[in-house]
């Protein structure tokens, strides 16, 4: 008779801290139990037994697993004892795989089973950054100890260290379980995310100005803005709002007011990132006070708040494989754009942002030398000339590479002789067109409800 491996999935809890049945949580289009069962079968497990409480909601139809029903109110150990009593005689190994760890991959299960057959091994468990987790693989003989009165899983693991082997894992979900709503949210984000760490993603930033026509799901847009709003906020004022423009005609009007930039209409989404004192004004009115809208400090706080949210939003979009580009031209006609978007008094668009699946592959521009940004204890002006030389060299290198590999930038060849300093002098020195274009910005902002005294 051949020996088989069975995965036992304790999923009999009520999920009270989660607020939902964990087995039926939606994880990027598949329930947690569907994802976990598929992982077990991909790892070569012969059978999956899911332990459910009596009266629990049914599992998805067609799930390739056997369901074992236990009375409600028990602990995980009670589920394991029930599963032990239902094991077939030919079962040689057991994988205890709580539904809380549905994001563990098949490679982890394979590694545990391969370790379990080593001489002297009775238990194999994964280790992430020095911490053990789930699932836990064990021989049938060891698993039988769960039948002892009062025994719990950790007793089996701790009883005899000599029979335990650990397997290093790169998957944080071996001990980061689905216990609270924020865990579920983190799991969904992880499933949609790129493989880069947050810091690595920052280094990979590029502005994208061409997009595929694929629409972005509303659930994804909500997730990105939901994450972005956890940016730092001055004194918890949260003086920001986001208008998500998807209507094509509305986007075209936004583009018209933002220098006619074509990628605003091409992108499936245009975000208007707003500094917003409307809610604070309403809060003041509710308590018999008048908003000090003339305060330059409050204007600055709201603008900084919106900027922090916007940077978070762009990073979140890039972390899910999307491209983005910030649109400073949203300040060209702030009153008209505010009217188009229906902004209340005391709100203005600090900048816009196009977001979508990128259709271009721009050469990264890099940044000026770190010495021009990072100073130790005191600002070091002695390094300015060296920094400018480095910034010039970086700009010229980018221009040459962009011309050679992309045929120019936005369809036009780039000057390979101009450095960064010369470009800044043209943009912001002398007869600056940028300054001229925004000459009436302060007056417009005042009419929108910001005193700026």
225 shares a domain with 164 = no
* Residues 327, 328, 333, 334, Cα dihedral to 10°: 100
Sign of CA dihedral 148, 149, 155, 160: negative
Lookup: tokens for 338: 């505010």
Q: Specify the CATH number for the domain of residue 254.
A: 3.40.109.10
For residues 369 and 355, membership in a common domain is answered with no
Q: Of the candidates 309, 335, 362, which is a domain's last residue?
A: 362
Identify whether residues 300 and 261 lie together within a single domain.
yes
Both tokens assigned to 237: 């004022």
Quote the mean pLDDT of the chain: 94
Q: Is residue 196 part of a domain?
A: no
Q: Which helix (H) or strand (E) holds 371?
A: none
Same domain, 146 and 251: no
Last residue within a domain, chosen from 305, 330, 362 = 362
DSSP secondary structure, 73-91, as one string: T--HHHHHHHHHHT--TTE
Residues 93 and 5: beta-carbon distance below 8 Å: yes
Is 209 a member of any domain? Answer: yes
Question: In angstroms, what CA-CA distances link 164 with 5, 125, 157, 160?
Answer: 18, 8, 7, 7
- Residue 362 to residues 207, 261, 268, 325, 415, Cα–Cα distance (Å): 8, 17, 19, 12, 16
Mean per-residue pLDDT for 120-146? 95
| pLDDT (tens digit per residue) in 427-446 | 999 888 878 888 899 999 99
* 399 and 412, same domain (yes or no): yes
**pLDDT tens readout for residues 152-168:** 999 999 999 999 999 99
Query: What pLDDT sits at residue 176?
Result: 83
| Residue 62 maps to a domain | yes
Q: Let me know whether 328 and 386 are in one domain.
A: no
- Domain membership of residue 266 as a residue range: 201-362
374, part of any domain = yes
Report pLDDT for 3: 85
Q: Which of 334, 362, 390 is the last residue of a domain?
A: 362
- The answer to whether residue 355 sits within a structural domain is yes
Residue 191 falls inside a structural domain: no
Cβ count near 134 (within 10 Å): 21
Residue 436: the pLDDT is 82
Residues 275 and 309 in one domain: yes
CA-based nearest residue to 35, from 106, 84, 113, 94: 106
Contacts for 351 with CB less than 8 Å, ≥ 6 apart: 273, 307, 310, 326, 327, 328, 330, 331
Indicate the range of 36-40, 108-112, 181-185, 253-257 predicted with least confidence: 181-185
d(CA 113, CA 160): 19
Angle of CA points 252, 257, 258, to nearest 5°: 90
Entry field: residues in the chain: 453
The answer to whether residues 187 and 105 touch, using CB atoms and an 8 Å cutoff, is: no
Residue 10 and residue 158 in one domain: yes
If asked whether residues 274 and 163 sit together in one domain, one would say no
Q: Which two tokens stand for residue 24?
A: 């039926």
> In this structure, are strands 123-128 and 66-70 parallel, antiparallel, or unpaired?
unpaired
pLDDT in tens, 351-401: 999 999 999 999 999 999 999 999 999 999 999 999 999 999 999 999 999
Q: Are residues 151 and 217 in the same domain?
A: no
Question: Are 242 and 283 part of one and the same domain?
Answer: yes
Q: How confident is the model at residue 1 (pLDDT cuts 50, 70, 90)?
A: very low
> In this predicted model, what pLDDT tens digit does every residue of 12-59 receive, in sequence order?
988 888 999 999 999 989 999 999 999 999 999 999 999 999 999 999
Domain for residue 266, yes or no? yes
State what percent of residues in the chain have pLDDT above 70: 100
Three-state DSSP class for residue 13: coil
- DSSP, res 216: P
Q: Give the pLDDT confidence score for residue 378 in this predicted structure.
A: 96
Residue at 372 is within a domain:
yes
Q: Say yes or no: 44 and 120 in one domain.
A: yes
Supply the pLDDT for residue 2. Answer: 63
Q: Count how many domains the chain has.
A: 3
pLDDT at site 196: 87
Output the domain CATH number for residue 27.
3.90.550.10
């Amino acid at each position: 008779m051949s020996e088989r491996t069975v995965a036992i999935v304790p999923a009999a809890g009520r999920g009270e801290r989660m607020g939902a049945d964990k087995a039926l949580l939606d994880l990027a289009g598949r329930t947690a139990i569907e994802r976990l069962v598929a992982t077990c079968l991909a790892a070569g497990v012969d059978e999956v037994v899911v332990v459910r409480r009596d009266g629990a909601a049914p599992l998805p139809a067609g799930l390739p697993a056997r369901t074992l029903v236990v009375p409600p109110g028990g602990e995980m150990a009670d589920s394991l004892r029930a599963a032990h009593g239902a094991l077939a005689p030919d079962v040689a190994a057991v994988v205890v795989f709580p539904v809380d760890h549905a994001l563990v991959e098949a490679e982890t299960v394979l590694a545990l089973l391969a370790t379990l057959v080593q001489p002297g091994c009775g238990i194999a468990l994964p280790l992430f950054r020095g911490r053990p987790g789930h699932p836990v693989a064990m021989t049938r003989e060891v698993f039988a100890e769960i039948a002892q009165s009062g025994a719990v899983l950790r007793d089996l693991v701790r009883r005899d260290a000599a029979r335990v082997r650990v397997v290093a894992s790169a998957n944080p979900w071996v001990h980061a379980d689905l216990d609270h709503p924020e865990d579920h949210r983190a799991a969904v984000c992880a499933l949609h995310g790129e493989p880069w760490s947050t810091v690595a993603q920052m280094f990979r930033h590029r502005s994208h100005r061409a997009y595929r026509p694929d629409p972005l799901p509303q659930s994804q847009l909500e997730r990105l803005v939901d994450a972005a709003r956890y940016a730092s906020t001055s004194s918890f004022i949260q003086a920001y709002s986001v208008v998500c423009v998807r209507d094509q005609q509305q986007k075209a009007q936004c583009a018209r007011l933002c220098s006619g930039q074509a990628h605003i209409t091409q992108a499936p989404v245009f975000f208007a990132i707003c500094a917003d004192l409307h809610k604070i004004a309403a809060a003041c009115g509710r308590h018999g006070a008048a908003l000090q809208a003339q305060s330059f400090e409050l204007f600055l706080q709201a603008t900084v708040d919106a900027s922090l949210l916007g940077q978070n939003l762009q990073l979140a979009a890039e972390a899910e494989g999307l491209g983005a580009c910030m649109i400073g031209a949203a300040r060209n006609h702030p009153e008209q754009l505010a009217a188009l978007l229906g902004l209340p008094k005391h709100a203005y668009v600090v900048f816009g942002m196009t977001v979508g699946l990128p259709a271009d592959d721009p050469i990264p521009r890099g940044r000026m030398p770190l010495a021009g940004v990072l100073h130790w204890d005191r600002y070091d002006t002695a390094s300015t000339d060296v920094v400018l030389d480095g910034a010039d060299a970086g700009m010229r290198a980018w221009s040459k590479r962009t011309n050679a590999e992309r045929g120019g930038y936005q369809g036009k060849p780039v000057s390979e002789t101009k450095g960064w300093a010369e470009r800044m002098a043209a943009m912001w020195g002398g007869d600056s067109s940028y300054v001229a274009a925004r000459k009436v910005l302060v007056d417009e902002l005042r009419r929108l409800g910001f005193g700026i005294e």
